Structure 1
């Protein structure tokens, strides 16, 4: 009788493998699953037997779109979501200022005006509570920020200079008197962020450690970080090195695929017969790395946000200023050329596209890239797909392009999204069932820290799609619990090009799994988010809980 490192037995195992969906024991050896069986089959001998009696085992959850560094850093900042009114928020900012040397930055995150009666902080009030400290408070969408006068002064911007600032792809919002309100949209945030970046290696490693510990508690074993090394979403040109160091120090438990932002791409010379490409030095491209840490697609921002009404839509937003179609982050032809030249270098491309006009640009460009350069080693992707038409769903399925939507937004942001799109487009918001029905890739993802990143909360939202007012947002986009679990495991693996070694618990797959206290398929939908995590295991090694 052969012997393995570990046998997991005694509970119910949902493998997500269509050939053997249910099992009762699983044999692990050298970080891989080597056998799966039923009660009628004998398990091999093992050095360790893990008893999960009365519990349920699933493949580890895989967040296909999140901002791990941003989330980890935010855990050390003032959390605007923790406060119910502006006075309470002002008090929290003042308290943080008292703990910060004069002149030091006060950092906050997670502001959503809808949680404050539709109001933004008054810059005069911010100046009163923070007379000696510059403020940078990120909007929950990440597509705008709120600052005070000290921050604007630190950037060198004054009223007379506002018109001279290059804000292509962004805006400094002014009041009726032409004075700054403190709100900076999209790329305009960079005038402040450049004062706060780059983050130190120590700060970044500590942020990753905080985020990873939280992920482990929630059953996450893999994630895709959607934007590093530059632009308004990155934190340092050395960000990849911070991930390497965190992994080396043992504080990054999850498997991570990292997207490099297109802002840091440049011309890379080659032989005259080689294509004219945008890439990184040495010809580095998508696919470099191993099953713990790898480079994924290049991330390019085509448009903005649904919440800030800056996504590029084909019909005007139903909320906000009249006749507002949003806007692209650059000229369409420039965006198309960047995507094609990156694809020519062998990169998969992840295009941030909220509005259907941006989705159309992405899909049409992917069609050209695939015909000219063939398929990359991991799929091209559309990030968010906030509004996607039926025709675009079909086109994505035909091209093999993943649309990484976030149905998990509904409880926190669904009301705003319905207002932004209006009743006639409500069914097109962050689609899910339509993707599955069309044979397109559908994933589990959070966009954390924009909204909750807890997988079981998002899985419940995928099934219910209920917003804060109790309205079902796009009823025909609801999925079953099984489909939601499939999306958070197999679907995410497919979209990240890793389905040949993770996403299922089957022979040869990585031994990444989560142990749940209850069977989600036998739990009332409204109770899914309350299921506790008993253990999280990566490569056969425990990273959280009593199992592994």
Structure 2
């Protein structure tokens, strides 16, 4: 047998759900060579083998976030950070950050930010247009709620987008008004006219964001991700940026790239003409599925539901596409050989996507296409057998349970939060659910996700369907093997077995033996990509 280049030993190595634990791991080049008892693996060492002492720590396959926005995350790292984790817990704190940014900005320069959650602000409301105007009279302001489906804009930003008091709501969107006056809130497609006039990042800017975001992911033990929307903001330039970043070796993690194939935001023809269909690429950057949006987010009250929201009997969410449009977009990608990964959170939206899938599969059977539903937050019991029949992948976000659970209670009542994101039902039904954060919607930190999967509680302890608890092994399985399965990569990564890529994350806490709450305070100590150490935590 080839002598290993590296050996990991003196720790607890979780190799996969079926494989269980090993005492030591041997790596040859960028692949796993062998796992087993420490003495057996030590016997494989040659004179050049590097031995890494895990000092009793837990090692797992490199984590794979199955749905995040890599370049948007990288971009957000240099914008206003409005997250509760950054200490933004009041409207006044947001206003103060905007005021400081305005003092340091040139007149007319845009002030952009992301991450506030009105359910976690002391005032339990969004900032208003007037509050932003007061501190930024000379600079347009555009701030995203944490979900990315709602924004608050000041008057200059609204004017730049051509939005006035008499502007009608567009299809698939809503312009916020209070007492008949614009309040600055823009929901879903209503944001498009403002977004169209914000100065666009260049390809070079996007490459910087990809690299910046990827380096940050490594610090969490994340070695792979599915980039969930290439072409969302800057069209084909985003795809060119990923291609350039790969050519220049500036993608720090393994990426499966989802291509936008929506009504307006659509780069499918551009990619297809270049031969960039699902599966094309290498182990660093590979083309993944095609995406379109059918609704919004539950936290913002825009996920399209068959029942009205508990806090507003007139609100069923926002339907972003008709059934006919959904059918057409689905077939356009399906017939070109692409996997699909549309956004659908509410049960009405999920039903509409499943209808489209049935028509596409009937027209062109493709048993292993593995069409997905991104988020898949609330589906009806009747739709589960349809998902099983077609092998639809539910790509849910455990972090939503943790960070947004309290808001779900506020907007949907006591009962409906107990039925969202049923990961155990999905797994037990033979589906292939994955775990992810939708970063920068939430932090890319996988620890709240793992906690939510095993504890099924929000950050304040609210129960979120306790019958859906997973074991630690099952939770890690969703974050490794199932995330790889979701982009046809399960033969290359997701387990620490001979022949698979030697991507490893080492943590200071044994998730398998501590109370679930202790998972939240764990820390990634080391990350390996292809057998190379690419991150070490500071002492």
In the superposition, the TM-score normalised over structure 1's length comes to 0.92
Distance 1:323 1:511, change over 3 A: same
User: Equivalent residue for 1:482?
Assistant: 473
1:326-345 to 2 correspondences below 5 Å:
326-345=317-336
Q: 1:101 aligns with which of 92, 95, 106?
A: 106
Distance 1:80 1:64, change over 3 A: same
Give 3-state SS (helix, strand or coil) of 2:251's partner. Answer: coil
Distance 1:290 1:267, change over 3 A: closer
Distance 1:509 1:95, change over 3 A: same
User: Equivalent residue for 1:154?
Assistant: 160
User: Equivalent residue for 1:513?
Assistant: 504
Which one is further off, 71-80 or 323-332?
323-332
CA distance in 1, matches of 2:388, 2:364: 19
Contact 2:259–2:268 at 8 Å: present in 1 too? Answer: no
CA distance in 2, matches of 1:102, 1:533: 42
Distance 1:17 1:419, change over 3 A: closer
1:206-245 to 2 correspondences below 5 Å:
206-230=208-232, 234-245=233-244
Structure 1: stretches of 5+ with no match in the other structure: 269-277
CA distance in 2, matches of 1:394, 1:427: 20
Give 3-state SS (helix, strand or coil) of 2:5's partner. Answer: strand
Q: Does 1:84 align with 2:89?
A: yes
CA distance in 2, matches of 1:376, 1:142: 33
User: Equivalent residue for 1:275?
Assistant: none
Which one is further off, 538-547 or 405-414?
538-547
Q: Does 1:169 align with 2:160?
A: no
Q: 2:371 aligns with which of 376, 380, 392?
A: 380
Contact 1:388–1:431 at 8 Å: present in 2 too? Answer: no
Contact 1:287–1:378 at 8 Å: present in 2 too? Answer: no
Distance 1:533 1:279, change over 3 A: closer
RMSD: 2.1
User: Equivalent residue for 1:425?
Assistant: 416
Give 3-state SS (helix, strand or coil) of 1:496's partner. Answer: coil
Report the alpha carbon displacement of residue 111 of structure 1 after superposing the two structures with TM: 2.2
User: Equivalent residue for 1:4?
Assistant: 4
CA distance in 1, matches of 2:474, 2:321: 37
Q: 2:143 aligns with which of 119, 137, 140?
A: 137
Contact 1:260–1:299 at 8 Å: present in 2 too? Answer: yes
CA distance in 2, matches of 1:170, 1:285: 31
CA distance in 2, matches of 1:240, 1:283: 13
Distance 1:290 1:391, change over 3 A: same
CA distance in 1, matches of 2:60, 2:136: 48
Q: Does 1:185 align with 2:191?
A: no
Report the alpha carbon displacement of residue 419 of structure 1 after superposing the two structures with TM: 2.9
Contact 1:348–1:376 at 8 Å: present in 2 too? Answer: no
Q: Does 1:58 align with 2:60?
A: yes
CA distance in 1, matches of 2:234, 2:411: 30
User: Equivalent residue for 1:274?
Assistant: none
Q: 1:303 aligns with which of 265, 271, 295?
A: 295
Q: 2:492 aligns with which of 497, 501, 504?
A: 501
Q: Deviations over 1:226-259 (max 9, x none)?
A: 11113xxx34421122223334444421100111
User: Equivalent residue for 2:273?
Assistant: 281
CA distance in 2, matches of 1:265, 1:138: 22
Give 3-state SS (helix, strand or coil) of 1:195's partner. Answer: coil
Q: Does 1:528 align with 2:519?
A: yes
Report the alpha carbon displacement of residue 9 of structure 1 after superposing the two structures with TM: 2.0
CA distance in 1, matches of 2:67, 2:98: 30
Contact 2:423–2:433 at 8 Å: present in 1 too? Answer: yes
Aligned pair count reads: 529
Contact 1:65–1:224 at 8 Å: present in 2 too? Answer: yes
Contact 2:202–2:237 at 8 Å: present in 1 too? Answer: no
Q: Deviations over 1:135-168 (max 9, x none)?
A: 01011111111110111222233335x13xx722
Give 3-state SS (helix, strand or coil) of 2:319's partner. Answer: coil
Report the alpha carbon displacement of residue 202 of structure 1 after superposing the two structures with TM: 2.6
User: Equivalent residue for 1:357?
Assistant: 348
Q: Deviations over 1:321-372 (max 9, x none)?
A: 3232223212211111211221011111111111111111112322232333
User: Equivalent residue for 2:392?
Assistant: 401
User: Equivalent residue for 1:436?
Assistant: 427
Structure 2: stretches of 5+ with no match in the other structure: none
Q: Deviations over 1:420-479 (max 9, x none)?
A: 333332322122111111111111211111123211221012111212442211111111
CA distance in 1, matches of 2:373, 2:268: 24
Report the alpha carbon displacement of residue 482 of structure 1 after superposing the two structures with TM: 1.4
Q: Deviations over 1:496-542 (max 9, x none)?
A: 21111110000110111111223211222110122221210111111
User: Equivalent residue for 2:129?
Assistant: 123
In the superposition, the TM-score normalised over structure 2's length comes to 0.93
Q: Does 1:22 align with 2:21?
A: yes
Q: Does 1:312 align with 2:314?
A: no
User: Equivalent residue for 2:259?
Assistant: 260
Report the alpha carbon displacement of residue 17 of structure 1 after superposing the two structures with TM: 5.4
